[in-house]
Structure 1
Amino acid sequence: MTSLRNFYIKLNGLSSALLLSRKLPCLITAGNKYTYYSWSSMTAVHHPLLQPVGRCLKSRHSSLHTSSVHCKNYYEILGISRNASQKEVKKAYYQMAKKYHPDVNKNDPGAEKKFAEATEAYEVLGDEDKRQQYDSFGSSAFNNGGAGGSSPGGFRSSGFQYQASVDPEELFRKIFGDFRSQFGQNEPDFAESDFGYKASEEVTIQLTFKQAARGVEKDIKVNVVGTCPKCQGSRCMPGTKAVRCQYCNGTGVETISTGPFVMRQTCRYCAGTRMVLPHPCDECMGKGQTVQRKVVTVQVPAGISDGQTLRMSVGGKEMFILVKVKPNAYFRRQGDDVHTDATISMSQAVLGGATRIQGIYEDITVQIPAGSSSHTTITLPGKGLKRPSSYGQGDHILHLRIRTPSSLTEKQKALFQALAELETDTPGSIAGFARTGDGKETSDPLHAGAPNASEQTAEQQQSWLQKIKKAILG
């Protein structure tokens, strides 16, 4: 007798395929229609010895039977579509597991089977990799070593055998917590959502230097725990309500008798709440609250520095806000003081004057004292940063930078030459001038590297005042 090998695969939208040995044709089924295909050409053929009977093959000379392998539709088990999101898969499993949990249906022998089927379906569809394999090859991909096998997590109930990589009870507790303490203190009183599984505890915000210096109102998106928008906090599906617990008769306490001993404890089904939810809200999982995304406004005080943390209450929960301040090319901060640079001309440095600079809150006019040198600092009291934790403000400290001209006109050069002749405290020498015995600079072509002293002109021997007049008036 030819041995049969059974595989269930997805073939171009066909429901299943029963592959025989390569000596026999291949039977492909689509709904209730059966078609034989040749292995060599994969064209439809009619085999006189084989007739389809249900899901088995029957020979006219000898009976050949296959063991009917049930191709489970996990999507139908959970009641969801094939393109359902992971959140919808989890919600569907939660509803099925709550409905058919063995602790709820102690007198229903079929509940345990449905609970196990739902767990098996979730173990596959709740895992992206397993779900992709299932969509490609069906549940047979898990018959050997996948969701099946001889894992110790398997059990038998009411003639149904389920073998999974984890125990159904353990999987349910891992996802949703202990069923008997679903309203206890160890489990959050809100449900996770697409935005996360808890409220925001720490958020980082980015500020510019001026925002940090002046203070700003910053809008940020955070996760908060709020009333479920679907059930409005009732924890029940719209149109339903909580009912009195039938296990403790609404007392919240159950009595357990063991021989002569009587023990009273909190009801394991309602967890002492006296009420149960026949139809819990599928949005908040019967919690009444969900994790939601909201926009909150943060009041950033003026003068806050980089790395400081703000604390505020959002949705009844305390949240910390870490402040990051971007560096500024103009302002430099040292404590509550702010430092900036100001570039002035040589004339302003020598004769004095005024310049206008950019302040934290407004532009400021600064008086430059005569005789200022480079790196001279001018302090502007009270023009710095506000002190967030106390009163008053720091100072604005201005650093002067003298700009030296890189090129001179003939008139400017004549003026500098005249000035050079009058200098008596020049350290070293000036190009084109020689120092006389009295310490003054004089124009000396010989010392300046002139080719011949006879080339001096009358103009070069004039006094410095005559040079200035000639340079200016011509």
Structure 2
Amino acid sequence: QGSTLWMRLRYAHTLSVEASYEILRLPEGASLKEVKKAYFKMAKQTHPDAAHCSADKPGEEKDLPSFIEVITAFEVLEDHASNMASLDSEYRTAPNSAARSGGGSSSDVRRRRAQRTPARARSLGEVLCDRLSDDPQLARDVWNEIRSRKLRLEPATLDRLFEACARAATPNEGDGGLEVALSIMREASRDGILTPSLREAGLVSVIKWCKRDASSFQQIYASIDEEDKTASTMETISYANFLYSGAWDGYSSGK
């Protein structure tokens, strides 16, 4: 998993938005819903555990991108959609913008803003997580500091924390750091800082780093409150379980 993550991070630096649309076989400007649909379809086709049987299926698409390319393209387009949504919001709340005063169309304004919009600054929580690279045993301490300082929580922060939970687990520790990871999710939920999208991102990271078998997936599923078991969440964790183990779990309504 570590080498795969490194490849994705390295590849993300060179993959453009235009290339990402091409990888997912989408026209430029496709909606986030269309991006997700294409991603789930191509992830199933290109996952290493599914590749061995694709040659036996008549009519299967040839010349598919790699699994790494598919995941990275989705992440690039998801970030792009988030950036464009922020720009749209900025435009709607700026009555003196050039577009509203006759100085250009809204798309022109968004393009100009996008060209000068810097990359998202890392949150302080993400910076604190840098300590986990050398000492993953500090995952609980870092989380406690994030809570005590009431820092903004990002998906990347949860991912780093749960990676550390998994790395800190000893071979004799059967849960692979799962209990610590789930306790962090419970505390974040009690603190009221888990939005639906952040909860889904956190669950995906728990599955990616801490799930070892079907039993641990059941434990993750059981940790979700009933009111949070929406169709979107169930589909997300089902695909995450497939992507990171190749095993279907039976919780996806769209399967």
- The structure with higher relative contact order (CA 8 Å, sep 6+) is 2
TM-score, normalization by structure 1: 0.17
Greater fraction strand: 1
Greater fraction helix: 2
TM-score, normalization by structure 2: 0.28
